[in-house]
Amino acid sequence: ADVCGKVQYEGLADTAAAQDLCRVVFATLRDYHDKPSQRAVERAIVAALAHADFLKAFAGLVVKAGDKAGELGRSQRLVLTRWSCLLVDALDVGEHAGAFARIAQTQGALAAASALASCSETPPPCSAFQQLLRRKGPTLVRAYLAQLGEGSKAMAANAPVAACGLATELLHHSTTTACSSPEVVAEVRSRAMDAYTRVVLGGDAKAKPPPARLSPLFHRLVATMNPAEFADGAVAHSCKQLRRSPDAVLASVASMLAHAPRANLDAHAGEDAMRDCVLAQVRHVDTRRRCTAVACVAAVADAGAAVAARRYFDAIVAELGDPKRRPKEWQARAGLFAAIGAIARLRREGGDSNDDDGGDGSDDSFVGLMAREACAALASSLGWEAQRDVKERITDALGAWLTHLPDTLPVDVAAALEGGIKDGKDGHGKRCLRVLVGAIAANPKLAGGAGSLVKAVAAAAKAGAAKPSQRAEGAMSLFIVSTASAVDDDAARDATKEGVWTDAIKPDASYFDPKATAKLGADDSEVLALCLAALLRHHGAHLTRAESKVEAQRAVGLLMLHPASAARVAARRAVVSSIENGEDPAALLDALRHWMAAAETPGGFPALLVTEGGGGGDASSVNFAAARCGEFPSRLAGAALAAFCGLPGGGADERTSDESRCPAVPASIAGLLLLTAHHPLCAAPDGRRAGAWEALMSRLDAAAEKAMGPDPRDAPASAAKEICAVVAGEKGLRSELKSDREAAVRAAFAVARLNPAVALDALLPVAKDLCDVAEHDAIGPNEIKIFNTQIGRLSTDPVDVFKAEVRVTANGPRKARGKSRMDYGSDSDDDAPVAVSLRPSQMAGGKKKGPGAGGPPKEMTKEEIARQAQMKEEAAVRAGVRALVDRMTLRLRLTASLMRGGTRRGAAAARVPEIAADVLPLLDSPILPLGPGGDCAAAMVVAAAGVPGNAAMGLGFGGVPETFAAALRLSAAYADGSAPPPPLDSRGEPVAPSSTRVVAEAATLRRALEAAAEAVEMNDEEPLPAAALALVFPVCAKALLLPDSAPAAVRKLALDVLAPHAAPGVEGLPRAPAAALALTVLEHGAPQLAAITRPLLFEVAAGAGDDEDGGAAVAATLLRGVESQFRAVR
């Protein structure tokens, strides 16, 4: 309400008015959330801050609201920050030092609260505060630095959270602003380091929020520390506090190590203080503290600090290897072994040479040497350790280091694992199996030394095949046997001797049973996928002899659709490796299609489990509720298709990183892959409406661009003939499954897009073979009547006529009931007339007899016997007509798909006249559904509009094809230029169309003709292409032969469209039907219309000599006109 103007020009009356305005402003903090309103409030604040009373009251309220910054919403914190910046703009920092100190503390608290609420590893800075610093420059920065202070009077001592927020904002400003002087930058870093070491690395464990939560504010500072700052500041304070209050600082130290530069970690590796402090917490009895300390060690390894990681490794191995120094408490030993496993996460970037890496600087020599030492130490530890939890940590650490081992599985490690596998206590044997399977999957070289384990695991592999309860252990054992046998002849002989290839891979083994597979959790499903991959890649001959190869392939196909991403990736890699090893890709693709076909039957697709025990699985990959209910995962099926092109998935492990090979659609399965991608149960992984095929092409296109390869569509386009054969084959159009036929129709569109000429030549004859138009025309009126009769009734049944029958009572009319004693006649309950429609046997009357009535069943009358016989005959006729309707519908849908897909370079337009001659009469069929015919007509319009360089393309714009299709349905019988005979009533008299029908038809025709007239006009009065003219002429004929009650403008519009196409030399106009149409208009049309039609007839006759028959058809039509009864026509 013009607050700004009133405050600016009239001022504030007194202190009470200022306080009232403050209350109004703060009321908007809750109510105003849109930016225009907030900016209007800020303009009022700026105007009011010129008054000291308002400034004082408003500053107090802002500081009071900032004390609860953590309880405010994101928008409210931002608004308060902007208001505080307005206060700083209005304050004289030197004159109002106390107010500025309070506001600076409030701004720091708001900035810290916003950063913590973002839950980001690198919280973004506050834009409003950064703009304030840029406006005010170094003067304001120095004022804020003075507020941060030093020593005991520093803000970090009194308001630690606010100090952290303010310090990080100043640090961001100094590092991103070019005008910041080196002195200011150095002072800002000093204050930020002071806040970091005081609060985050030296905070109180009982503080709220905990110091560890403030660590993300300083991640940028930690990442930019130089070695001196890191050693003298961060590490020194960390060690000091780790000795005093490790609970308060341990999580902060883990965060610091995770974001520290690798150079700083390695430069400080020689000092033992930090390492001793961390390892002391690794040995702690408290599980939470122990896990956090292990995370510190893992952070060093994740950073790639090889020197520091090696120091940790040597210290731990030396302590555990010496029986005198080895901790007696099992918790301490468990923590140390977990730390060894964490060091296995070491990944070195590049080949930095140092004294510890063997001299050549290679990753294999450095990490591989550590892996050998770790595996030897861990294997020996399994021999003397007896505590269950510690053995689990040892086993996990051994599995982590085995993935880095550059050699085959060492003998001592194999012996230790064999002992663990045989140990059935507390599930230790299953854990050893799982660790070994994971190691071999990540490092296939290990399989060369696993041959000694074949005899130990063969029994479990055979037991798992027969007992579903042991299928998890069996699958892991069978994987070990399969991988070891593939590279070790002795292991292969042991597997054969133990009967693995005869007993473990039978067709009815639980490994191939979909019901048993569906009950496996995520981890066990991944193991099963790895096992099947090894069998298909290396032992296909054994599967063939056992007659279980198809079952194995189907099991892999099912696992490709698993809700857990790890199981899916393992199954897809199984497909890729099998194809690379020479397996038939068509058989693997048929295994995936098997589950699509099974999903069409209720309960045919198994409900796959997502988790095992309490973990596993990932919520981002699929709807878990749908997976549990057995709903088919269409998007996962679309994603699985990439595996058949050499793309297994799996993020960083994607095989497209190999520059020498470019994933592509294999020519041998191009047709089957196209069919599968267009299956109704196959959807795009990213949900795009274009479908799974376009998603696959996009992914292959990206891979080809990365590998500098050819366009992935080139191979399917060159194999279009073979693809068309598959589409038209037993797995496509001639399949017994409706979904396969639907996929074939959709695939026809795709192949027509790839190579229009080949697709149209190959599939249009197939469409004709599906159902001939002559078969449709052979259906008689009696068959049509039977087909359109409701099921359960006969076509000869009379139409129900409900006649009232009044019941006659022996005692006369009933007396009225109630107090009035009046006779309500037929409105009484029992005297109401009834309407019945009875069969002959029911009309005979009599009591019901049968088993329920106590008498013998009544024999059927002759009428009922004849009725049942007729019912069977009509059911057979109806089934035959239904089969024809289905085939004809399939033909129409296939034709529509080809017409829409083959528009490139006008390929489909050349076929439109020929197709229109067959299809147009079907549009008004009494037995065919309207949808397929209308879609086919609209598709022909789209194809006719696709002629390059012609304005007929306007007919293909949105809505026009459907409008033209509706007009073509009305005009289907007028293609020969004459009107069909009118329908007859029961007496044989012609039935005139109703006025409402005439008006509706005229409106539909007018819309279509207006589109055609616009196309002619846009074509500079040049004739339309022959394809468009073949569809336009029937509509014009229908419009010219409308009854006299139709608007004359429709007829005039039809003649305007036909006129440019009747001249000699214009192709496409059917001249004989056009001549017949013109003669009919001359005979029955109005005088004005006849006068306009005469020039059209002359031009049609003048160009008749260019027809294929030399004008014979036009001459015959004109001869019939000579015999007309009208002199003007003659």
What is the end-to-end Cα distance of the chain in Å, rounded? Answer: 87
- Alpha-carbon distance of 544 to 539, in angstroms, equals 9
Element (H, E) at 135: helix 127-136
Task: Say how far apart CA 287 and CA 334 lie, in whole Å.
Answer: 10
Give the angle 223-226-231 at the CA atoms, nearest 5°. Answer: 100
Buried b / exposed e over 258-268, threshold 16 CB at 10 Å, is: bbbbbebbbbb
State how far the Cα of 284 lies from the Cα of 250, in Å rounded to an integer: 12
pTM above 0.75, yes or no: yes
Task: List Cβ neighbours of 591 (8 Å cut-off, separation of 6 or more).
Answer: 550, 553, 554, 556, 557
Determine the pLDDT at residue 340: 93
User: Cα–chain-centroid distance for residue 311?
Assistant: 47
Residues with Cβ < 8 Å from 253, sequence gap 6 or more? 201, 238, 242, 278, 296
Residue type at 829 in one-letter notation: D
Written as one string, the DSSP assignment of 584-632 is -HHHHHHHHHHHHHHHTSTT-S------BTTB---TTSS-HHHHHTT--
Angle between helix axes 428-442 and 522-538 (nearest 10 degrees) is 50
* Distance, CA of 1037 to CA of 1085 (rounded, Å): 13
Name beta bridge partners: 805. Answer: 834
What sections of 641-719 are H helices per DSSP?
Answer: 670-677, 692-706, 714-718
d(CA 722, CA 715): 11
516: amino acid identity, one letter = A
Query: DSSP letters of 244-264?
Result: H-HHHHHHHHHHHHHHS-HHH
- How far apart CA 125 and CA 111 sit, in angstroms, is 8
The DSSP line for 32-63 is --SHHHHHHHHHHHHHHTTSHHHHHHHHHHHH
- Pick out the chain residues at pLDDT < 50: 1, 349-363, 612-628, 651-659, 802, 816, 818-838, 843, 845-849
Specify the pLDDT at position 611: 56
Nearest partner of 28 among 37, 19, 36, 18, judged by Cα: 37
Q: Count Cβ atoms below 10 Å from residue 881 Cβ, excluding itself.
A: 18
Exposed e or buried b for every residue in 638-647, given b needs 16+ CB within 10 A? Answer: bbbbbbbbbb
CB-based contacts of 405, cutoff 8 Å, min separation 6: 368, 371, 372, 375, 443, 445, 446
What pLDDT, on a 0 to 100 scale, did the predictor assign at position 459?
92
Residue 531 structure tokens: 């096992």
> Of the candidates 627, 606, 605, 631, which has an alpha carbon nearest to the alpha carbon of residue 616?
627
How far is residue 857 from each of residues 219, 795, 838, 840, 848, measured CA to CA in Å? 92, 29, 20, 17, 9
Q: How far, in Å, CA of 840 to CA of 846, rounded?
A: 12
Handedness of CA 253, 258, 262, 263 (dihedral sign): negative
| Cα distance between residue 638 and residue 38, in whole Å | 48
- Return the SS3 of 992: coil
- Reduce the DSSP state of residue 805 to 3 states and report it: strand
The residue type of 838 is: L
Report CA dihedral (83, 88, 92, 97) to the nearest 10 degrees.
100
Reduced to 3 states (helix: H, G, I; strand: E, B; else coil), residue 994 is coil
Q: State which amino acid sits at residue 169.
A: E
Measured between alpha carbons, how far is 421 from 1062 in angstroms, rounded to an integer?
91
Angle between helices 738-754 and 670-677 (to 10 degrees): 120
Closest CA to 484 of 465, 464, 468, 461: 461
Question: Three-state DSSP class for 759?
Answer: helix
C-alpha distances (whole Å) from 13 to each of 8, 45, 61, 836 are 12, 16, 20, 93
In 3D space, the residue among 3, 97, 104, 102 whose CA is nearest the CA of residue 51 turns out to be 3
Calculate the CA dihedral of residues 986, 992, 993, 994 and round it to 10 degrees.
-100
What was the pLDDT predicted at 274? 87
pLDDT for 626: 45
> Which two three-digit tokens encode residue 422?
């045989």
CB–CB of 562/568 below 8 Å? yes
Residues sharing a CB contact under 8 Å with residue 824, sequence separation 6 or more, in sequence order: 816
Return the percent helix, strand and coil in the chain, to nearest 5. 70, 0, 30
Instruction: Give the integer Cα–Cα distance in Å for 632 and 608.
Output: 10
In terms of phi and psi (left: phi > 0; alpha: psi -120 to 50; beta: otherwise), the region of 209 is beta
Q: What angle do CA 1001, 1006, 1008 make, to 5 degrees?
A: 100
Give the C-alpha separation, 464 to 475, whole Å.
Answer: 7
For the stretch 175-186, pLDDT in tens is: 887 666 888 888
Contacts of 810 (CB under 8 A, 6+ apart): none
